């Protein structure tokens, strides 16, 4: 157990091993991957599950039940409240949209009471507002909530989704045999493909296999899915977010290299703006999801979200890190006494040097901010031309720093500081280049 009195001061000393680890980032992903032209950056949107679950009580709770009314309302808010402009484009239905049994020809039927206009009409509604439409099904006999799954009807379901102009299909894994997934998930992917309609394919293949003690074949998963869940469903608590952070950190050697344009690890939804996370913790979830190149799927009531949480979800600088075109998933590069440092290589690249997003996370709860001091070199930022460094939550511009420069950040308990360091193309000079000063002093 670690005891201390007063605020801890961490002078972070990172050894050469870390710099070597960073070298792993530059491994180019040579494995052949799903090529349906979709999800070249991690998908962004709104998904009903974490916040609205399987509330089917439209008599008692008409505002919050899973219904066309809820999805239309959220569609409107994604547009009117600026989320669409920030990059959120998918409106995704999750479980509990179906009737309990299929129609006379075996077709899926949306719940007649809660979706009286039908799914095609909802899809049209979403498209008419410039967004994309996602739907949920299950690889097994039933969805997780007990509605009809695809077994025996996969051709029909894939065709129906295409007829409804669906843009994104999440295929869950309840009521199925994980051993069948190596064949079944690719098969449904081929069915989606053969409809001719491009649909993002979200798989739950690895997580169910891991639960069953099977080591997932990520080489195959990358080839057939645009994104996939590796770990537990997120719940509305900091403990849940921490367990996910730990899973992705502890298993990063197996997981991180699988991410890239068109194929992403999915640590599950953003729960920012709900009941379980403080402001600091919400900032931490958003920053780390960006480092992880994670899909950004909000699951929150956009009618009642407080402005400070909305601002986190619309932080353009952090979204830009998440959506970085190189698509390299970041890693945890330091972990000691509750302080973690996570780092993600991003564009631009100069010569052999990447730019980076770096997140300092304080997992401690001893009530006072922790200082973290580290040189850029210790973080693996070694370009002699230097880096332009800025804070992505606070309005702080550090200017251009050399690898020897020691930066010091104060990280709040369960909070984060996230920086962006853009490698400079020219040998750095002390002050950032400012054309006004330049021309003034040049005379």
Ligand X SMILES: *[C@@H]1O[C@H](CO)[C@@H](O)[C@H](O)[C@H]1NC(C)=O
Q: Which is nearer to ligand X, 12 or 156 (CB)?
A: 156
Minimum CB separation of residue 195 from ligand X in Å reads 7
Scanning 29-37, 91-99, 365-373, 403-411 for contacts with ligand X by CB under 6 A, the matching segment is 29-37
| Residue (of 73, 69, 74, 50) closest to 58 by Cα position | 69
Minimum CB separation of residue 316 from ligand X in Å reads 30
Residues 49, 94 contacting (CB under 8 angstroms): yes
| Residue (of 44, 17, 22) closest to 358 by Cα position | 22
Residues 215, 179 contacting (CB under 8 angstroms): no
From 89, 137, 143, 176, residue interacting with ligand X (rule: CB under 6 A):
176
Q: Establish if 219 lies at the interface with ligand X (CB under 6 A).
A: no
Provide the annotated active-site residues.
172, 233
Interface with ligand X (CB under 6 A), residue total 13
Q: Establish if 101 lies at the interface with ligand X (CB under 6 A).
A: no
| Residue (of 344, 364, 365) closest to 355 by Cα position | 344
Minimum CB separation of residue 152 from ligand X in Å reads 8
| Residue (of 269, 359, 273) closest to 321 by Cα position | 359
Minimum CB separation of residue 189 from ligand X in Å reads 9
Kindly list the distances between the CA atom of residue 27 and the CA atoms of 22, 31, 59, 193, in Å, as whole numbers in the listed order.
10, 11, 55, 30
Q: Which is nearer to ligand X, 226 or 274 (CB)?
A: 226
Q: Establish if 36 lies at the interface with ligand X (CB under 6 A).
A: yes
By Cβ distance, which residue is nearest to ligand X? 36
Residues 268, 206 contacting (CB under 8 angstroms): no
Q: Establish if 141 lies at the interface with ligand X (CB under 6 A).
A: yes
From 16, 27, 32, 37, residue interacting with ligand X (rule: CB under 6 A):
37
Q: Establish if 140 lies at the interface with ligand X (CB under 6 A).
A: yes
Identify the bridge partners of residue 332 per DSSP, sorted by sequence position.
Answer: 342
Map residue 280 onto helix, strand or coil: helix
Q: Establish if 367 lies at the interface with ligand X (CB under 6 A).
A: no
Q: Which is nearer to ligand X, 196 or 435 (CB)?
A: 196
Minimum CB separation of residue 196 from ligand X in Å reads 5
- Contacts of residues 188-193 at CB distance under 8 Å and 24 or more positions apart, as own/partner, are 188/139, 188/150, 188/154, 188/158, 189/34, 189/224, 189/225, 191/154, 191/155, 191/158, 191/159, 192/158, 192/161, 192/162, 193/36
Scanning 30-38, 58-66, 129-137, 337-345 for contacts with ligand X by CB under 6 A, the matching segment is 30-38
The tokens for 408 are 């010091």
Q: Establish if 204 lies at the interface with ligand X (CB under 6 A).
A: no
Q: Establish if 214 lies at the interface with ligand X (CB under 6 A).
A: no
Scanning 52-60, 195-203, 231-239, 385-393 for contacts with ligand X by CB under 6 A, the matching segment is 195-203
The tokens for 60 are 């008692």
Scanning 53-61, 172-180, 300-308, 338-346 for contacts with ligand X by CB under 6 A, the matching segment is 172-180
Q: Can you give the binding site for ligand X, defined by CB under 6 A? A: 35-37, 140-141, 151, 175-177, 193, 196-198
């Amino acid at each position: 157990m670690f005891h201390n009195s007063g605020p801890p001061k961490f002078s972070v000393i990172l050894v050469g091993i870390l710099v070597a680890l960073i070298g792993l980032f530059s491994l180019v992903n040579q494995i052949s991957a799903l090529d349906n032209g979709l999800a070249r950056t991690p998908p962004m949107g709104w998904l009903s599950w974490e916040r609205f679950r399987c509330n089917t009580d439209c008599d008692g709770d008409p505002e919050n039940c899973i219904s066309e009314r809820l999805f239309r309302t959220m569609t409107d808010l994604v547009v009117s409240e600026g989320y669409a402009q920030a990059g959120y484009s998918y409106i995704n239905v999750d479980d509990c949209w179906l009737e309990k049994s299929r129609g006379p020809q075996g077709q899926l039927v949306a719940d007649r009471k809660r979706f009286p206009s039908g799914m095609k009409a909802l899809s049209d509604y979403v498209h008419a507002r410039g967004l994309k439409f996602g739907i949920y099904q299950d690889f097994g006999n039933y969805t997780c909530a007990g509605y009809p799954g695809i077994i025996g009807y996969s051709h029909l379901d894939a065709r129906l989704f295409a007829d409804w102009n669906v843009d994104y299909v999440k295929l869950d894994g309840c009521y199925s045999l994980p051993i069948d997934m190596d064949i079944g998930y690719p098969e449904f992917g081929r069915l989606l493909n053969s409809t001719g309609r491009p649909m993002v394919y979200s798989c739950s293949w690895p997580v169910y296999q891991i639960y069953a003690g099977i080591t997932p074949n990520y080489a195959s998963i990358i080839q057939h899915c645009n994104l996939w869940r590796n770990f537990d469903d997120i719940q509305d608590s900091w403990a849940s977010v921490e367990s996910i952070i730990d899973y992705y950190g502890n298993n990063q050697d197996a997981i991180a290299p699988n991410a890239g344009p068109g194929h992403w690890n999915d640590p599950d939804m953003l729960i920012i703006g709900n009941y379980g996370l403080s402001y600091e913790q919400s900032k931490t979830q958003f920053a780390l999801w960006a480092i992880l190149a994670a899909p950004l799927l909000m699951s929150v009531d956009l009618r009642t979200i407080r402005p400070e949480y909305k601002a986190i979800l619309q932080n353009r600088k952090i979204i830009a890190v998440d959506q970085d075109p190189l698509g390299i998933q970041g890693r945890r590069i330091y972990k000691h006494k509750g302080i973690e440092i996570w780092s993600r290589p991003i564009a631009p690249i100069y010569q052999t040097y990447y730019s980076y997003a770096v997140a300092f996370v304080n997992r401690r709860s001893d009530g006072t901010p922790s200082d973290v001091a580290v040189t850029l070199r210790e973080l693996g930022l070694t370009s002699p031309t230097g880096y332009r460094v800025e804070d992505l939550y606070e309005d702080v511009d550090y200017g251009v720093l050399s690898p020897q420069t020691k930066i010091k950040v104060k990280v709040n308990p369960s909070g984060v500081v996230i920086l962006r360091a853009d490698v400079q193309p020219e040998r750095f000079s002390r002050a950032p280049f400012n054309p006004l000063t330049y021309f003034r002093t040049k005379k």
